[in-house]
C-alpha cells in the first residue's frame, strides 16, 4: 500500500484502497428499490442484498447508529447522512499527519471522491426524493480522514471509537502483508481495543486478481491474494468482505478481481468493470461526464455500484453520483447492514454481529471457493438480530482507551466528580459517563461533542475551541451547589474555562483564557507566564464548600503543584504535590523520576473524602488514610 491515496484519480492509487480494475463486461441490473429516490432504480446492489425488505424490519426512528468511514475525507455531499454534533453541524475527524490541526484543510476533488462513494453506500439519505438510497437510512456517517500508514489508521480507529462509532468501515487493503506481521501492529492493537469497546470493524478484502491489466505501479500484485495476507482485513476481530457482481443471468456471482480465501467472512456487492473503463463507471446527476480510469476519456459503463460522488477541479467541485466497483464498495454494504442490525438490537456484541452475518448469508456462485459464508442478506441478518438476545455489557471508560499512534497507555480519566445528589460523572476519551450512588450506570456513554450544552454557542466542544476535527475532551470538570448561587458546573479545556447552571445555560463569561484570570496568572499561580501560544492546562480542579474556611474553596493541581484559594481568590496554600505525604506515596511509586507528578482527576468533598486517579489507578482517602488503591480497569463500572 505504498504511495498516497490523495493523489490524482489514478488507477493504482485507488486500487490500493480496495477498488477494482476488472475485465468482464456484464449487463446492468435495473431493479427498483422501495424508495422515491430517482436513481434507486439503478441500485441493483440494494435488491441483491434484500435491503428494502430489511428496512421494513428496521423502521427509521430513535437514536442513529454512527458508522465511521476511515478513508480519504469529508466532502459534505448533501445526499449523505453525515454525523452531527450537539449543535446540529456536520461532525467529521482527521487522523492524518498531513493535517496541522489548525483549521479546515481544502483538498482536491481526488482526495474526497473515494470516501464520498463509500459513505453514500452506507447511508445516503433515503426516500428524500433526491439521488440514491443508502443501505442504512438510520445510520449517520462519521468521516475520519486518514493516510495509509499503520499509525494513522490506528489513530483513526481510536478517534472513531472515542467519537461514538459502533461500526468502523475500512475500505482499504494492502496485499501480501498479514496483520500478524509487525507492519500493522498499531492497527491490529487498535482493532482489538475497538472490538472490546463494542465496535464492529469491517474491512475490504482487496482487488488484486487482475492479471490482464498492467498498472502504473509495479509493486502492485496482479494475482489473487489470500485475504489472510491482506491488511487490515486479516486482523483479528475484523469482518473481511469480498465482492460479488450482478448480471441479469447471474445476479450473485463472485467478482473476478476480488481477493478471498478460507478466512474471508462473507461477500457483498462490489460490481463489475469493463476493459474500456476499468473501475470507473458512468456519472449521474450533475456530473454525467466523468473520465475513464481516472485519466482520460469518458466513462459510460454502469456495471458498478452507484453511489454519491464529488467531481470537479482544484478545490471546487459538484456533488453528484457515479458507478464504481471493488471490494471498497462491498465493505460498506456490510457496514450498513450492521447499522440496521444494531438499530433493532443495540445490545449485540461484535462477535454476535459477525456470527449473525455468517449464519444469515445467502448463496453466491463462487468459482474460487473462497467467498466466506456467502452473500450478504440484509433481511435475514436484521430478522435474526431482532430475535437474538444481545450479550453486550456496559462499556466503561477504560474500554474506550483504544490504542493509537503511541500504542497502549494506562487508562486515564479527564475528570471525575460527584454531584450533590450522589450522581458520579466521569469524562474520558471524548465521552461522558454517569453513575448513581450505587455505581450503576444512569445512561449509556455519550460523546461530549453530541451534547447541545457543550457544542452550541461558545461551548467547549465548538470548532472555535476544540482542536479541529478531533474528539472533544475536557481537562477538568467539577460541580458544586453553592449557597446563594445554586448549582454550578465548571469546565476547563484548551486553556480556557466555562461555567453552566443547573439547566445547562451559560453562567457568566464563556471561553475565557485561564492565563487572564488574576489568581491563576499571579507570580505564584499555575498560569504564570502562560499565554495563548503556550496555554495554561490544569490537571485537576475542585470546587467545594468548606464553612470552616469561609465557604467556597477552589483547589487546582497542575505542573506537579497544588493551589488552594478561597471564594475571594485569596491563596490559602500551595506547594509541590510531593510535599503532601499521601500524594508523595503515589508519585514515588507510580511516577517517573525527573518528571513532575501528575494526577488525572482529584475529587474533594466537604467531608474530607478524597478520590484521586493517576497512572491508571484509583486512590480513595479519608483524610490521610488510604481506604483503597487499585487499577481503574479492576473497577467494574469503569471497565
Asked if the bond preceding 340 is cis, omega within 30° of 0, the reply is: no
Region label for 64, one of left (φ > 0), alpha (ψ between -120 and 50) or beta (otherwise) = beta
Q: pLDDT band at 15, cuts 50/70/90?
A: very low
CB contact set of 568 (below 8 Å; sequence gap of 6+): none
What would the mean pLDDT of 30-42 be, rounded to a whole number? Answer: 76
Cα gap 323→280, rounded to integer Å: 7
pLDDT, residue 93, reads 83
Q: What predicted TM-score, i.e. pTM, was given to this entire model?
A: 0.85
pLDDT, residue 391, reads 85
- The candidate with the shortest Cα–Cα distance to 614, out of 635, 632, 596, 594, is 632
What would the mean pLDDT of 340-347 be, rounded to a whole number? Answer: 95
What would the mean pLDDT of 373-387 be, rounded to a whole number? Answer: 97
CB contact set of 505 (below 8 Å; sequence gap of 6+): none
Pick the range with the lowest mean pLDDT from 55-64, 244-253, 332-341, 616-625. 244-253
- Is residue 328 pLDDT above 60, yes or no? yes
How do beta strands 139-145 and 93-94 pair? parallel
Burial of 262 (0-12, 13-18, 19+ CB in 10 A): exposed
Cα gap 474→493, rounded to integer Å: 5
CA 438 to chain centroid, in Å, comes to 31
- The candidate with the shortest Cα–Cα distance to 578, out of 589, 570, 568, is 589
pLDDT one-digit tens code per residue, 288-301: 677 655 555 677 78
Helix axis angle, 350-360 to 378-387, nearest 10°: 130
Mention the CATH class of domain 11-387: alpha beta
Q: pLDDT band at 211, cuts 50/70/90?
A: low
Domain parsing of the chain, residue ranges? 11-387, 410-638
- Is residue 596 pLDDT above 90, yes or no? yes
pLDDT one-digit tens code per residue, 444-494: 899 999 999 999 988 999 888 876 568 899 999 999 888 888 889 999 999
pLDDT, residue 102, reads 37
Cα gap 264→372, rounded to integer Å: 5
Q: pLDDT band at 10, cuts 50/70/90?
A: very low
Judge contact between 79 and 35, C-beta under 8 A.
no
Mention the CATH class of domain 410-638: mainly beta
pLDDT, residue 303, reads 86
Q: pLDDT band at 100, cuts 50/70/90?
A: very low
- Is residue 621 pLDDT above 60, yes or no? yes
CB contact set of 79 (below 8 Å; sequence gap of 6+): 120, 124, 125, 128, 130, 131, 132, 308, 319
- The candidate with the shortest Cα–Cα distance to 136, out of 125, 119, 122, is 122
Pick the range with the lowest mean pLDDT from 317-326, 412-421, 463-472, 615-624. 463-472
pLDDT, residue 12, reads 34
Judge contact between 269 and 330, C-beta under 8 A.
yes
Cα gap 286→267, rounded to integer Å: 31
What residues form DSSP beta bridges with 67? 141, 167
Average pLDDT, the chain: 85
- Is residue 4 pLDDT above 50, yes or no? no
- The candidate with the shortest Cα–Cα distance to 430, out of 149, 53, 91, is 91
Judge contact between 248 and 254, C-beta under 8 A.
no
DSSP letters along 104-133, please? Answer: PPP--GGGTHHHHHHHHHHHB--SSSSS--
- Is residue 364 pLDDT above 90, yes or no? yes
pLDDT, residue 353, reads 98
- The candidate with the shortest Cα–Cα distance to 376, out of 281, 264, 300, 475, is 264
Pick the range with the lowest mean pLDDT from 86-95, 165-174, 247-256, 502-511. 247-256
Consecutive H or E run containing 590 = helix 581-590
- Is residue 25 pLDDT above 70, yes or no? no
What would the mean pLDDT of 145-164 be, rounded to a whole number? Answer: 91
Judge contact between 299 and 283, C-beta under 8 A.
yes
Backbone angles phi and psi of 473, in degrees to 5: -135, 155
- Return the ∠ at Cα 65 (arms to 344 and 476), rounded to 5°: 130
pLDDT, residue 143, reads 93
| Beta carbons within 10 angstroms of residue 42's beta carbon | 21
pLDDT, residue 37, reads 94
- The candidate with the shortest Cα–Cα distance to 34, out of 64, 56, 57, is 56
Give all strands of the β-sheet with 551-558 in edge-to-edge order.
540-546, 551-558, 561-566, 571-576
pLDDT one-digit tens code per residue, 399-436: 999 876 666 789 999 999 988 788 899 999 999 999 99
Pick the range with the lowest mean pLDDT from 174-183, 452-461, 507-516, 543-552. 543-552
pLDDT, residue 111, reads 55
- Is residue 1 pLDDT above 60, yes or no? no
- Is residue 105 pLDDT above 50, yes or no? no
- The candidate with the shortest Cα–Cα distance to 239, out of 404, 351, 129, is 351
- Is residue 618 pLDDT above 90, yes or no? yes
Q: pLDDT band at 147, cuts 50/70/90?
A: confident
Pick the range with the lowest mean pLDDT from 184-188, 283-287, 360-364, 537-541. 283-287
pLDDT, residue 163, reads 93
Amino acid at each position: 500500500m505504498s504511495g498516497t491515496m490523495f493523489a490524482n484519480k489514478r488507477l493504482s492509487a485507488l486500487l490500493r484502497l480496495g477498488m477494482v480494475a476488472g475485465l468482464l463486461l456484464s449487463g446492468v441490473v435495473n431493479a427498483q428499490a422501495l424508495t422515491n429516490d430517482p436513481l434507486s432504480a439503478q441500485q441493483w446492489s440494494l435488491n441483491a442484498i434484500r435491503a428494502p425488505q430489511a428496512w421494513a424490519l428496521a423502521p427509521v426512528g430513535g437514536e442513529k447508529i454512527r458508522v465511521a468511514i476511515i478513508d480519504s475525507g469529508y466532502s459534505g455531499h448533501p445526499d449523505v447522512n453525515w454525523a452531527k454534533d450537539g449543535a446540529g453541524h456536520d461532525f467529521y475527524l482527521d487522523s492524518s499527519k498531513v493535517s496541522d490541526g489548525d483549521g479546515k484543510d481544502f483538498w482536491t476533488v481526488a482526495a474526497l471522491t473515494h470516501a464520498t462513494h463509500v459513505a453514500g453506500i452506507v447511508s445516503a439519505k433515503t426516500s428524500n426524493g433526491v439521488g440514491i438510497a443508502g443501505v442504512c437510512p438510520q445510520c449517520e456517517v462519521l468521516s475520519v480522514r486518514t493516510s495509509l500508514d499503520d499509525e494513522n489508521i490506528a489513530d483513526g480507529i481510536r478517534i472513531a471509537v472515542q467519537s461514538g462509532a459502533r461500526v468502523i468501515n475500512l475500505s482499504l487493503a494492502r496485499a501480501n502483508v498479514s496483520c500478524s506481521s509487525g507492519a500493522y501492529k498499531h492497527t491490529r492493537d487498535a482493532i482489538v481495543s475497538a472490538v472490546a469497546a463494542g465496535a464492529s470493524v469491517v474491512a475490504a478484502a482487496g482487488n488484486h486478481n487482475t492479471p490482464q491489466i498492467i498498472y502504473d505501479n509495479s509493486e502492485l500484485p496482479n494475482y489473487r491474494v489470500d485475504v489472510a495476507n491482506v491488511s487490515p482485513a486479516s486482523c483479528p476481530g475484523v469482518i473481511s468482505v469480498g465482492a460479488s457482481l450482478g448480471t441479469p443471468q447471474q445476479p450473485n456471482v463472485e467478482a473476478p478481481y476480488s481477493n478471498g480465501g478460507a478466512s474471508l467472512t462473507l461477500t457483498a456487492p462490489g460490481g463489475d468493470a469493463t476493459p474500456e473503463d476499468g473501475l470507473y463507471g458512468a456519472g449521474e446527476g450533475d456530473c454525467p461526464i466523468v473520465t475513464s480510469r481516472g485519466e482520460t476519456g469518458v466513462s459510460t459503463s454502469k456495471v458498478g455500484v452507484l453511489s454519491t460522488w464529488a467531481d470537479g477541479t482544484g478545490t471546487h467541485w459538484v456533488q453528484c453520483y457515479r458507478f464504481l466497483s471493488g471490494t471498497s464498495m462491498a465493505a460498506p454494504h456490510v457496514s450498513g447492514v450492521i447499522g440496521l442490525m444494531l438499530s433493532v438490537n443495540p445490545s449485540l456484541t461484535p462477535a454476535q454481529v459477525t456470527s449473525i452475518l455468517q449464519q444469515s448469508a445467502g448463496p453466491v456462485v463462487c468459482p474460487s471457493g473462497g467467498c466466506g459464508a456467502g452473500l450478504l442478506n440484509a433481511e435475514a441478518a436484521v430478522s435474526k438480530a431482532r430475535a437474538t438476545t444481545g450479550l453486550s455489557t456496559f462499556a466503561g471508560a477504560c474500554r474506550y482507551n483504544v490504542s493509537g499512534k503511541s500504542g497502549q497507555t494506562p487508562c486515564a480519566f479527564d475528570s471525575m466528580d460527584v454531584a450533590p445528589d450522589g450522581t458520579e460523572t466521569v469524562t474520558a476519551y471524548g465521552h461522558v459517563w454517569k453513575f448513581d450512588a450505587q455505581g450503576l450506570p444512569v445512561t449509556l456513554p455519550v460523546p461530549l461533542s453530541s451534547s447541545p450544552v457543550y457544542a452550541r454557542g461558545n461551548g467547549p466542544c465548538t470548532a472555535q475551541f476544540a482542536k479541529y476535527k478531533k474528539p472533544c475532551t475536557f481537562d477538568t470538570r467539577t460541580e458544586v451547589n453553592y449557597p446563594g448561587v445554586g448549582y454550578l458546573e465548571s469546565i476547563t479545556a484548551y486553556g480556557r474555562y466555562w461555567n453552566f447552571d443547573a439547566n445547562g445555560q451559560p453562567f457568566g463569561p464563556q471561553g475565557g483564557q485561564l492565563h487572564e484570570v488574576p489568581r491563576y496568572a499571579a507570580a505564584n499561580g499555575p498560569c504564570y507566564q502562560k499565554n495563548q501560544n503556550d496555554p495554561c492546562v490544569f490537571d485537576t480542579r475542585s470546587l467545594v464548600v468548606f464553612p470552616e474556611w469561609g465557604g467556597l474553596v477552589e483547589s487546582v493541581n497542575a505542573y506537579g503543584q497544588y493551589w488552594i484559594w478561597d471564594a475571594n481568590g485569596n491563596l490559602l496554600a500551595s506547594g509541590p504535590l510531593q510535599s503532601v505525604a499521601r500524594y508523595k506515596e503515589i508519585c514515588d511509586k507510580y511516577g517517573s523520576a525527573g518528571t513532575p507528578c501528575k494526577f488525572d482527576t482529584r475529587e474533594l468533598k466537604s467531608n474530607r473524602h478524597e478520590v484521586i486517579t493517576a497512572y491508571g489507578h484509583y486512590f480513595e482517602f479519608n483524610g490521610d488514610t488510604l481506604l483503597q488503591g487499585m487499577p481503574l480497569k479492576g473497577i467494574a463500572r469503569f471497565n
